[in-house]
Amino acid sequence: MFVDDEYMILEGLKMIVNWAELGFEVVHTAKSATEALAYLENHEIDLLITDINMPEMSGIELVKLAQQQTKDFFTIILSGYQEFEFVKKGMQLGVKNYLVKPVNKEELKKSVLEIHTELEKWQQQKEQKEFYRETGLILWLNDELNDGEFEGLLKQFSSSTLPPYTPLLFSGEKELLEAVAEYFLNRGQQMAVYGRFSENQLILIYSGNRQQLLLLVRELEHHFSGEHWQMIVGETIEEWESLYKSYEKIKQVQSLQAFYPDLLPHERILKVDTVNKEGELPFLSFNKALMIGDIKTIRQELDKIFDQLLAAQADPEQVKYISFLLFTDIYRQSSALSSEDYETIIADIRKGNTIVELRRLFDRILEKTKEQTNQKRYSETVQHAIDIINNDYTEEISLKSAAESLHLSVVYLGQLFKKETELSFNQYLNLVRIKKAQHLLLHTQQTINEISEVIGYNNTNYFSKMFKKLNGITPKEFRDTYREEYDSL
């Protein structure tokens, strides 16, 4: 953008050099600083070339005010004056160059080419930073970050990233998703994964109160009412470590859409954990009850969910949808159910007509899970990896060491393992270790420290944190609660 109060100078600047050859497009010319600031309110520029001496506001003041609007651009100042103070003030504001009128064409070209080179470097750095940021968000959603890495990820965002957190998945055309991303960005929500635009998807982690989120969602639905799109709202999570559980629910809904669309409510906005405006179903608590593995505790959580459905007078379509999500959690955590069992139970969910009937179905599912022995549900390769975990969980094992022992590439084994088990190698390893810890807590007198060491953790604090993350209670609370009465699933 050029800014000068003299029309002939503005026209001359447009023609003095071939801007396209220098890699620039002239997007605007302004006859005053006020006009320039008005343009900058709604537009971005990379380079500002402005006169310093203008009637209502100097070029220096223009740059200062524009920077206060958090606008990032390079500046070249033009002036018929050569006073040192002008130069000093400009350099303090990061002005790239100070050219004296009449402008020397070669000097201008040199300055502009230098700026172009810096812009390219800046763009590369920006893209790299965005890539690392999005990679970090994906790792978080998939439970692959430790405490330090999570803290490092949050530092990459300038706006608030405080809990609670809610994952959101948008599906639609790329242009619409860009508008949705901009909508949330303008409201301080920066934790978005843009990299799936090519797949017509946008993932966003909302930071803040759920009620405020739902108000924004309603506003968004009204704003884009004429467009074709869908949004899945995950469960709102207080602890960052449990966000992956909420994201898993979103993926379950996607799977339901792909394979069992008749079990899904036909709505533009799907809230995976909400049965009415007030109630939110405790999916996370149910997941932790499954991990605890006590049938009485699991049944109590099921009762809470179905009581809520009953109180909300949920329609059969929604109850079947919730039942599918609950059953998927049981199936994933228990290898006692076969793929044939899976299809049979899905058919039973489809046939269910009442909330009471579907609740009774879950009692039968739990009984079947308890009675049956573990099924071989995985490919030979994945089963070998699982055998390594089950046999060597007390040792320092990793995906890399497992891949080496199976003579496979780390990437291939990792992808295959995740695809079949829906867990990463490390998640599965932690699952096995914590299950072994539960057994030792119930059936031995070993201390927490001793159990931590026996199952392969050399850090007791990390063991306790992992135990609570998966079970929702500490090792001591688990022992105190279930030592006398524990009915294993």
352 close to 320: Cβ distance less than 8 angstroms = yes
Residues 166-193 as b or e (16 or more Cβ within 10 Å = b): bbbbbbbeeebbebbbeebeeeebbbbb
Instruction: State residue 276's pLDDT score.
Output: 52
Instruction: State residue 130's pLDDT score.
Output: 86
Instruction: State residue 72's pLDDT score.
Output: 82
Instruction: State residue 223's pLDDT score.
Output: 87
Instruction: State residue 83's pLDDT score.
Output: 56
Instruction: State residue 461's pLDDT score.
Output: 95
Instruction: State residue 86's pLDDT score.
Output: 59
Residues 230 and 202: their CA atoms lie apart, in Å, by 11
Instruction: State residue 50's pLDDT score.
Output: 93
Instruction: State residue 69's pLDDT score.
Output: 77
Instruction: State residue 94's pLDDT score.
Output: 64
Instruction: State residue 82's pLDDT score.
Output: 60
Single out the residue of 49, 43, 90, 50 nearest to residue 69, CA to CA.
43
Instruction: State residue 334's pLDDT score.
Output: 86
17 close to 112: Cβ distance less than 8 angstroms = yes
Neighbours of 33 (CB within 10 A): 24
Q: Which residues of the chain are under the pLDDT cut of 50?
A: 84, 277
Instruction: State residue 4's pLDDT score.
Output: 93
Instruction: State residue 280's pLDDT score.
Output: 76
355 close to 309: Cβ distance less than 8 angstroms = yes
Residues in the chain: 489
Instruction: State residue 70's pLDDT score.
Output: 64
Q: How is residue 23 annotated by DSSP?
A: T
Vertex 244: Cα angle to 240 and 247 (nearest 5): 120
Single out the residue of 380, 388, 378 nearest to residue 456, CA to CA.
388
Q: How is residue 373 annotated by DSSP?
A: P
Question: Which domains are delineated in the chain?
Answer: 2-122 (3.40.50.2300), 163-371 (no CATH), 380-482 (1.10.10.60)
191 close to 207: Cβ distance less than 8 angstroms = yes
Q: How is residue 85 annotated by DSSP?
A: H
61: tokens are 């003041």
